[in-house]
A and B are shown apart, each in its own frame.
Chain A
Amino acid sequence: AQSVTQPDIHITVSEGASLELRCNYSYGATPYLFWYVQSPGQGLQLLLKYFSGDTLVQGIKGFEAEFKRSQSSFNLRKPSVHWSDAAEYFCAVGTTSGTYKYIFGTGTRLKVLA
């Protein structure tokens, strides 16, 4: 079955510390991969995306993610977290055949300590 797992429901980091949010997927082929951020009561903002090519993807707000095919992972990283990064983060898989759709992970809520 196609699925996306974000193992960490909540993560708390101190401002200035590094961050890594995990995302693993189950899909029969190489999917398209996305990370979105959502502030309370707001819509989704795209942080970065992977379609093909270089497996290290740079995004907005200093975020990057690395696609590791062997691990079926697409972890999101940021070297130094800012208080404004506190939000909900969603990993999503875009299917590449059949019915085209996105499958979202359950989300990781990031809290940043001053």
Chain B
Amino acid sequence: GAVVSQHPSRVICKSGTSVKIECRSLDFQATTMFWYRQFPKKSLMLMATSNEGSKATYEQGVEKDKFLINHASLTLSTLTVTSAHPEDSSFYICSATTGSPYNEQFFGPGTRLTVL
């Protein structure tokens, strides 16, 4: 149980284009989903927290207009990287939680984004 999927697993795009990454909770309803970014050989940095039907809460320093997050249902959140540039290349990981009882997060396998 508690499986989270991400699609695509890898994506390569040209500079200036937008890329959408999907995060799905497959066997549970997620009240909250999280998006992390991981640079090579670095730790995970929380980008934003999203609750179903609400606007996402972005961490300090994360451009909300660059990284658009939509959490339209209890099983799906999307991250859209708008007008991507090479510096946006990174490993993006999502997680989801039901909230109860310990707000435990279940992580997706990650999406490798490469912007040429």
Which residues of A are in contact with B by a Cβ distance under 8 Å? 32, 36, 41-44, 46, 49, 51, 88, 90, 94, 96, 99-107, 109
Selected from A46, A51, A100, A107, the residue in CB contact (under 8 A) with B43 is: A107
| CB-defined contacts of B112 to chain A, threshold 8 Å | 41
Tally of A-B Cβ pairs under 8 angstroms: 49
Closest to B108 in A: A43
Interface residues on B, range: 20 to 34
A94 touches B102 (CB 8 A): yes
| CB-defined contacts of A96 to chain B, threshold 8 Å | 103
B93 touches A101 (CB 8 A): no
Which residues of B are in contact with A by a Cβ distance under 8 Å? 32, 34, 41-46, 49, 57, 93, 95, 97, 99, 102-105, 107-110, 112
A102 touches B43 (CB 8 A): no
* Bound-complex Cα distance A90 to B36 (A): 14
Q: Which has the most chain B C-beta neighbours within 10 Å: A44, A104, A105? A: A44
* Bound-complex Cα distance A105 to B110 (A): 18
